[in-house]
Structure 1
Amino acid sequence: MNRIATFAATTLLFASGLTAAHAATVPCEDLLQKLRDAEKTATLSAADKAQVSELETKGIERCNADDDKRADKFFEDALKITAKK
Protein backbone atom coordinates (compact mmCIF):
# COMPACT_ATOMS: atom_id res chain seq x y z
CA MET A 1 0.00 0.00 0.00
CA ASN A 2 2.89 2.37 0.72
CA ARG A 3 4.17 1.92 -2.82
CA ILE A 4 0.80 2.95 -4.23
CA ALA A 5 0.66 6.05 -2.02
CA THR A 6 4.23 6.98 -2.95
CA PHE A 7 3.50 6.49 -6.64
CA ALA A 8 0.34 8.60 -6.42
CA ALA A 9 2.15 11.40 -4.58
CA THR A 10 5.03 11.37 -7.05
CA THR A 11 2.65 11.42 -10.00
CA LEU A 12 0.74 14.36 -8.52
CA LEU A 13 3.93 16.34 -7.92
CA PHE A 14 5.18 15.63 -11.43
CA ALA A 15 1.88 16.66 -13.00
CA SER A 16 1.72 19.90 -11.01
CA GLY A 17 5.29 20.69 -12.09
CA LEU A 18 4.32 20.28 -15.73
CA THR A 19 1.36 22.60 -15.26
CA ALA A 20 3.54 25.27 -13.66
CA ALA A 21 6.16 25.01 -16.40
CA HIS A 22 3.53 25.25 -19.12
CA ALA A 23 1.86 28.25 -17.46
CA ALA A 24 5.13 30.22 -17.59
CA THR A 25 4.88 30.40 -21.39
CA VAL A 26 3.04 33.40 -22.83
CA PRO A 27 0.19 32.36 -25.12
CA CYS A 28 1.57 32.63 -28.64
CA GLU A 29 -1.53 34.46 -29.84
CA ASP A 30 -0.81 37.29 -27.38
CA LEU A 31 2.78 37.67 -28.54
CA LEU A 32 1.70 37.51 -32.19
CA GLN A 33 -0.70 40.41 -31.60
CA LYS A 34 2.07 42.37 -29.88
CA LEU A 35 4.36 41.73 -32.87
CA ARG A 36 1.70 42.83 -35.36
CA ASP A 37 1.10 46.02 -33.37
CA ALA A 38 4.85 46.72 -33.32
CA GLU A 39 5.09 46.14 -37.08
CA LYS A 40 2.48 48.86 -37.68
CA THR A 41 4.67 51.55 -36.10
CA ALA A 42 8.17 50.29 -36.97
CA THR A 43 10.15 51.70 -39.87
CA LEU A 44 12.03 48.71 -41.20
CA SER A 45 14.44 48.26 -44.07
CA ALA A 46 13.48 45.73 -46.73
CA ALA A 47 15.94 43.21 -45.27
CA ASP A 48 14.60 43.66 -41.73
CA LYS A 49 11.01 43.47 -42.97
CA ALA A 50 11.80 40.19 -44.74
CA GLN A 51 13.47 38.79 -41.63
CA VAL A 52 10.54 39.80 -39.40
CA SER A 53 8.10 38.27 -41.88
CA GLU A 54 10.05 35.00 -41.94
CA LEU A 55 10.17 34.84 -38.13
CA GLU A 56 6.45 35.64 -37.94
CA THR A 57 5.65 32.85 -40.41
CA LYS A 58 7.73 30.34 -38.44
CA GLY A 59 6.10 31.50 -35.21
CA ILE A 60 2.60 31.11 -36.63
CA GLU A 61 3.49 27.61 -37.81
CA ARG A 62 4.66 26.64 -34.30
CA CYS A 63 1.68 28.39 -32.70
CA ASN A 64 -0.73 26.40 -34.88
CA ALA A 65 1.10 23.24 -33.75
CA ASP A 66 0.48 24.20 -30.09
CA ASP A 67 4.21 24.72 -29.55
CA ASP A 68 3.88 28.04 -27.72
CA LYS A 69 7.39 28.01 -26.33
CA ARG A 70 9.08 27.87 -29.74
CA ALA A 71 6.48 30.19 -31.29
CA ASP A 72 7.15 32.76 -28.57
CA LYS A 73 10.88 32.56 -29.30
CA PHE A 74 10.32 33.38 -32.99
CA PHE A 75 7.96 36.25 -32.09
CA GLU A 76 10.39 37.61 -29.49
CA ASP A 77 13.23 37.58 -32.03
CA ALA A 78 11.03 39.47 -34.49
CA LEU A 79 10.07 41.98 -31.79
CA LYS A 80 13.74 42.65 -31.11
CA ILE A 81 14.21 43.61 -34.75
CA THR A 82 11.18 45.91 -34.73
CA ALA A 83 12.35 47.53 -31.50
CA LYS A 84 15.70 48.51 -33.03
CA LYS A 85 13.99 50.73 -35.59
Structure 2
Amino acid sequence: MPRLNPFTLQMEITRMFEQGQSFFASLKVQDWLRERNEEPDAYDILFHQKPAPPGSGQVMTVEIELRRKDGQPADAWLQEEANRHA
Protein backbone atom coordinates (compact mmCIF):
# COMPACT_ATOMS: atom_id res chain seq x y z
CA MET A 1 0.00 0.00 0.00
CA PRO A 2 1.52 3.36 -1.00
CA ARG A 3 2.15 5.79 1.77
CA LEU A 4 -0.15 8.79 1.98
CA ASN A 5 1.62 12.08 1.49
CA PRO A 6 -0.48 15.25 1.80
CA PHE A 7 2.22 17.31 0.07
CA THR A 8 2.85 17.35 -3.65
CA LEU A 9 6.32 16.77 -5.03
CA GLN A 10 6.56 20.40 -6.07
CA MET A 11 5.68 21.57 -2.56
CA GLU A 12 8.36 19.34 -1.05
CA ILE A 13 11.01 20.47 -3.55
CA THR A 14 10.14 24.14 -2.97
CA ARG A 15 10.48 23.59 0.79
CA MET A 16 13.87 21.91 0.28
CA PHE A 17 15.11 24.93 -1.69
CA GLU A 18 13.81 27.32 0.99
CA GLN A 19 15.61 25.36 3.72
CA GLY A 20 18.90 25.24 1.82
CA GLN A 21 18.62 21.52 1.08
CA SER A 22 18.46 21.81 -2.70
CA PHE A 23 21.31 19.29 -2.97
CA PHE A 24 18.83 16.54 -2.03
CA ALA A 25 16.08 17.70 -4.42
CA SER A 26 17.31 15.54 -7.32
CA LEU A 27 17.33 12.46 -5.09
CA LYS A 28 13.75 13.20 -4.02
CA VAL A 29 12.63 13.46 -7.66
CA GLN A 30 14.49 10.23 -8.52
CA ASP A 31 12.65 8.42 -5.70
CA TRP A 32 9.37 9.91 -6.94
CA LEU A 33 10.08 8.60 -10.46
CA ARG A 34 10.86 5.12 -9.09
CA GLU A 35 7.50 5.11 -7.27
CA ARG A 36 5.86 5.65 -10.67
CA ASN A 37 7.82 2.80 -12.29
CA GLU A 38 10.00 5.17 -14.30
CA GLU A 39 13.76 4.81 -14.68
CA PRO A 40 15.35 7.90 -13.03
CA ASP A 41 18.57 7.49 -15.02
CA ALA A 42 16.59 8.09 -18.23
CA TYR A 43 15.86 11.69 -17.20
CA ASP A 44 17.73 14.92 -16.70
CA ILE A 45 16.09 16.72 -13.78
CA LEU A 46 16.17 20.51 -13.89
CA PHE A 47 14.79 23.01 -11.38
CA HIS A 48 13.55 26.52 -12.16
CA GLN A 49 12.93 28.99 -9.34
CA LYS A 50 10.05 31.36 -10.04
CA PRO A 51 8.09 33.92 -8.02
CA ALA A 52 5.13 32.32 -6.26
CA PRO A 53 1.62 33.19 -7.41
CA PRO A 54 0.01 36.11 -5.54
CA GLY A 55 -1.92 35.06 -2.46
CA SER A 56 -0.09 31.75 -2.06
CA GLY A 57 1.77 32.86 1.06
CA GLN A 58 5.11 31.87 -0.47
CA VAL A 59 7.93 33.98 -1.87
CA MET A 60 9.07 31.54 -4.54
CA THR A 61 8.14 28.23 -6.08
CA VAL A 62 10.33 25.68 -7.84
CA GLU A 63 9.22 24.20 -11.15
CA ILE A 64 10.52 20.73 -11.98
CA GLU A 65 11.50 19.96 -15.56
CA LEU A 66 11.93 16.36 -16.63
CA ARG A 67 13.95 15.96 -19.82
CA ARG A 68 14.52 12.52 -21.31
CA LYS A 69 18.14 11.76 -22.14
CA ASP A 70 17.18 9.91 -25.33
CA GLY A 71 15.73 13.08 -26.87
CA GLN A 72 12.11 11.95 -26.69
CA PRO A 73 9.67 14.27 -24.89
CA ALA A 74 8.77 13.34 -21.32
CA ASP A 75 5.22 12.06 -20.89
CA ALA A 76 2.91 15.04 -20.40
CA TRP A 77 1.07 13.41 -17.47
CA LEU A 78 4.37 12.76 -15.68
CA GLN A 79 5.50 16.35 -16.14
CA GLU A 80 2.11 17.65 -14.95
CA GLU A 81 2.16 15.39 -11.87
CA ALA A 82 5.66 16.56 -10.93
CA ASN A 83 4.45 20.18 -10.92
CA ARG A 84 0.97 19.66 -9.51
CA HIS A 85 0.27 22.37 -6.93
CA ALA A 86 -2.34 20.69 -4.73
TM-score, length of structure 1 as denominator length: 0.28
Q: Which has the higher strand share?
A: 2
For the pair shown, the structure with the greater C-alpha radius of gyration is 1
